[in-house]
């Protein structure tokens, strides 16, 4: 029997605790390989250590490139807990790949946990382990890259020979056992459908209109689509597929690794990397006719996409779709509950309800997003400027809350002391039993459980002892106002840090459609919830309820009859004529007359607000016609909507 060199000594003095990490990459691999890896590692340890051993297994399925796997996080947490004497793996690539594998080895070294990678000859107890780890990591990375190149070379060659048959759009059928594109057949009626499809686009119909026609004809979307209904985007995608003119394409996109997580994302391939294969038997549209229409559509839609113009780069390339200029992805529709997105009725600086875009909401009104951001920000500053001083009653409540928190923490610490003593007694009993009866799997499992519970108690106790013990000091309102001006007063709307601050200070913004009592354009008002508590650091309990408020912000500029109504009424009450009022205020006589008429309507209805909330689609507004479209179906996200 061989032995560890240098010898390994259990840190608890009696039982060696070993962590074994096993991994397979894909669902296509045999899961029995995990058991094979574990058996190899256990045999390696038992052949070199004669004393009692407790094995803990972490096994998973996923690429070693992925650095955000739960199994990797669990392995790192296990090492940092200090519970394990030894980490054993078949090779270092079973943990993860690239430099992160070397970092894991160093983490083990910091925790005084020895790591052994059997096939890579890595043992962190030897002084040359780091060089071996670097070479092993390089070997695994190089092997992955070479394998990727071989697969790519094979697929390109087979595609050029007519193979690599994957998915096809509507109109094409892939018989079972098909090996090349010569085996693909065109479905019945596909010629007639695509002829009508092309004619409608040539006549100037939109993609959505073609989608409506396809749905009315009950044309299937194809074997490889999840959606069973045609949409404008789907029609556009199929229209631009060159297979319709008899050309198969490949390498339109390629994977690029995101080094932070190890996962890949699709990006556009360079033009020289793209491949076209001529397959005349798949042609449905004459190539000249196809190219002419595609050129016409691309020219008509060139201004609608990001970075389509040849001289204009995509300003959002590489930026997550979840990162947007505030208040993007933060304002909710009061009708259907969905988010407002940038771009409404062809105006990129306006925001529109996502439900209205998809014909699931009738609220088609838009507002200037930059103006809304400015007004909401100024409302936050106004709320900060109007803060009252904290009175002694509230300060006393804060002190009492802090005292109650201290008392609760003291009681929790006492409970943890009792539990810790109980765990220590049980640990002693288990150790005594192991000494008396020798190796026992049940006792070993119980020992690991107790050690884990002891570590959890220690961590909770450390966290409680690290909490502040003093009574929170309330800042003055002057300090809060200064902080508010520093956080949001600069109005740096394009700065992501500004957006994060506003998301904290304005937890919710909901917009509702309104219309003047005497008719006119539908406008939007925002109900803005403001909470200035995040300005106080460290956080003070109970403060949020005192410095929170809800305000209403108009996301529009009122027309003259609304803006000047009160002044017109005041001047008319002073005895001036309509013409005299109009001349003094710089209005037309008609505007002054309409302002007085609006005021009479408000008086008759007993209202002080010239606007009324809409609970149903209005009549007579040319922009509110989506609810009349055959595609429309009202689908609110919750039951809080004002109407359908």
Please tell me the distance from the alpha carbon of residue 491 to that of residue 377, in angstroms, as a whole number. Answer: 7
Higher pLDDT, 519 or 489: 519
- Count how many Cα atoms sit within 13 Å of the Cα of residue 628 in the half-sphere of its side chain: 9
User: Where does the pLDDT of residue 312 fall: very low under 50, low under 70, confident under 90, or very high at 90 and above?
Assistant: low
Nearest to 212 by CA among 603, 630, 639, 640: 630
Of 90-104, 169-183, 215-229, 420-434, the one with minimum mean pLDDT is 420-434
User: Where does the pLDDT of residue 400 fall: very low under 50, low under 70, confident under 90, or very high at 90 and above?
Assistant: low
Nearest to 616 by CA among 363, 367, 366: 363
Please tell me the distance from the alpha carbon of residue 275 to that of residue 247, in angstroms, as a whole number. Answer: 10
DSSP annotation of 610 reads S
Q: Are 39 and 4 in contact (CB under 8 A)?
A: no
> What mean pLDDT, rounded, does the chain reach?
84
Q: What is the pLDDT of residue 357?
A: 85
Please tell me the distance from the alpha carbon of residue 614 to that of residue 596, in angstroms, as a whole number. Answer: 23
Q: What is the pLDDT of residue 475?
A: 58
What's the pTM? 0.60
Q: What is the pLDDT of residue 620?
A: 73
User: Where does the pLDDT of residue 600 fall: very low under 50, low under 70, confident under 90, or very high at 90 and above?
Assistant: very high
Q: What domains can you pick out in the chain, each with its CATH number? A: 16-145 (3.40.50.1390), 172-300 (3.90.1750.20), 323-388+474-556 (no CATH), 392-465 (no CATH)
- Asked if residue 494 has pLDDT above 90, the reply is no
pLDDT digits (tens, 9 = 90+) for 538-575: 555 555 555 678 899 999 999 999 999 999 999 989 88
In sequence order, what are the residues at sequence separation of 6 or more whose Cβ sits closer than 8 angstroms to the Cβ of residue 311?
A: none
Rounded to an integer, the average pLDDT of 207-213 is 90
pLDDT digits (tens, 9 = 90+) for 503-544: 888 889 999 999 999 888 899 999 999 887 777 665 555 555
User: Where does the pLDDT of residue 60 fall: very low under 50, low under 70, confident under 90, or very high at 90 and above?
Assistant: confident
User: Where does the pLDDT of residue 613 fall: very low under 50, low under 70, confident under 90, or very high at 90 and above?
Assistant: very high
In sequence order, what are the residues at sequence separation of 6 or more whose Cβ sits closer than 8 angstroms to the Cβ of residue 374?
A: 491, 493
In sequence order, what are the residues at sequence separation of 6 or more whose Cβ sits closer than 8 angstroms to the Cβ of residue 534?
A: 501, 504, 505
User: Where does the pLDDT of residue 444 fall: very low under 50, low under 70, confident under 90, or very high at 90 and above?
Assistant: confident
- Asked if residue 627 has pLDDT above 90, the reply is no
In sequence order, what are the residues at sequence separation of 6 or more whose Cβ sits closer than 8 angstroms to the Cβ of residue 432?
A: none
pLDDT digits (tens, 9 = 90+) for 70-85: 899 889 988 998 889 9
Q: What is the pLDDT of residue 555?
A: 93
Please tell me the distance from the alpha carbon of residue 95 to that of residue 205, in angstroms, as a whole number. Answer: 56
User: Where does the pLDDT of residue 29 fall: very low under 50, low under 70, confident under 90, or very high at 90 and above?
Assistant: confident
Q: Which of 245-249, 299-303, 437-441 has the highest mean pLDDT?
A: 245-249
User: Where does the pLDDT of residue 98 fall: very low under 50, low under 70, confident under 90, or very high at 90 and above?
Assistant: confident
Q: Are 578 and 589 in contact (CB under 8 A)?
A: yes
User: Where does the pLDDT of residue 123 fall: very low under 50, low under 70, confident under 90, or very high at 90 and above?
Assistant: very high
Percent of the chain with pLDDT over 70: 86
H helix or E strand, kind and range, residue 508: strand 508-516
User: Where does the pLDDT of residue 641 fall: very low under 50, low under 70, confident under 90, or very high at 90 and above?
Assistant: very low
Q: What is the pLDDT of residue 640?
A: 46
């Amino acid at each position: 029997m061989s032995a560890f060199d240098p010898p390994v000594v259990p840190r608890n003095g009696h039982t060696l605790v070993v962590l074994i990490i096993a991994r397979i990459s894909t669902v296509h691999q045999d899961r029995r390989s995990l058991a094979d890896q574990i058996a190899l590692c256990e045999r390696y340890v038992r052949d070199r250590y004669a004393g009692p051993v407790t094995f803990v297994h972490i096994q998973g399925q996923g690429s070693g490139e992925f650095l955000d796997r739960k199994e990797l996080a669990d392995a790192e947490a296990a090492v940092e807990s200090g519970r394990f004497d030894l980490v054993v793996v078949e090779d270092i690539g079973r943990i993860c790949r690239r430099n992160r594998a070397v970092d894991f080895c160093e983490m083990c070294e910091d925790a005084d946990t020895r790591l052994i990678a059997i096939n890579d000859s890595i043992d962190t107890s030897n002084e040359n382990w780091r060089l071996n780890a670097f070479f092993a990591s390089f070997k695994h990375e190089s092997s992955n890259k070479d394998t990727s190149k071989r697969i790519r070379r094979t697929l390109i060659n087979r595609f050029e020979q007519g193979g690599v048959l994957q998915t096809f759009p509507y109109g094409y059928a892939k018989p079972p056992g098909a090996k090349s594109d010569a085996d693909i057949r065109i479905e019945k009626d596909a010629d007639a459908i695509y002829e009508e499809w092309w004619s409608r686009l040539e006549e100037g119909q939109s993609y959505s209109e073609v989608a409506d026609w396809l749905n009315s004809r009950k044309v299937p979307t194809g074997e490889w689509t999840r959606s069973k209904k045609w949409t404008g985007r789907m029609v556009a995608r199929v229209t631009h597929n060159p297979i319709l003119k008899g050309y198969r394409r490949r390498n339109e996109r390629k994977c690029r690794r995101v080094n932070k997580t190890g996962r890949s994302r699709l990006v556009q391939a360079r033009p020289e990397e793209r491949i076209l294969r001529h397959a005349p038997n798949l042609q449905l549209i004459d190539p000249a006719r196809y190219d002419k229409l595609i050129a016409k559509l691309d020219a008509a839609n060139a201004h609608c996409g990001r970075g389509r113009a040849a001289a204009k780069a995509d300003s959002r390339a590489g930026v997550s779709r979840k990162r947007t200029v505030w208040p993007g992805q933060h304002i909710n529709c009061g009708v259907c509950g969905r988010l407002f997105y940038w771009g409404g009725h062809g105006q990129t600086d306006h925001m529109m309800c996502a439900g209205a875009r998809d014909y699931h909401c009738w609220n088609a009104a838009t507002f200037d997003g930059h103006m809304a951001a400015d007004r909401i920000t100024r409302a936050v500053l106004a709320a900060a400027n109007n803060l009252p001083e904290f009175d002694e009653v509230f300060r006393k409540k804060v002190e009492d809350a802090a005292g109650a928190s201290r008392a609760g923490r003291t009681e929790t610490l006492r409970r943890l002391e009792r539990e810790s003593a109980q765990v220590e007694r049980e640990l002693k009993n288990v150790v005594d039993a192991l000494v008396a009866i020798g190796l026992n799997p049940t006792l070993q499992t119980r020992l690991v459980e107790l050690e884990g519970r002891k570590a959890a108690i220690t961590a909770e106790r450390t966290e409680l002892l690290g909490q502040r013990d003093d009574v929170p000091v309330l800042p003055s309102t002057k300090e809060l106002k200064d902080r508010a001006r520093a956080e949001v007063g600069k109005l740096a709307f394009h700065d992501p840090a500004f957006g994060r601050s506003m998301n904290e200070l304005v937890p919710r913004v909901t917009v509702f459609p309104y219309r003047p009592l005497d008719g006119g354009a539908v406008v939007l008002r925002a109900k803005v919830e403001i909470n200035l508590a995040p300005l106080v650091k460290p956080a003070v309990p109970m403060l949020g309820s005192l410095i929170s408020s809800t305000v209403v912000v108009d996301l529009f500029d009122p027309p003259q009859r609304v803006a000047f109504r009160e002044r017109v009424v005041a001047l008319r009450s002073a005895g001036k004529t309509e013409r005299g009022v109009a001349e003094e205020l710089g209005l037309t006589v008609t505007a002054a007359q309409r302002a007085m008429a609006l005021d009479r309507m408000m008086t008759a209805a007993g209202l002080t607000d010239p606007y009324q909330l809409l609970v149903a689609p209005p009549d007579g507004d040319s922009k509110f016609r989506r609810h009349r479209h055959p595609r429309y179906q009202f689908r609110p996200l919750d039951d809080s909507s004002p109407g359908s």
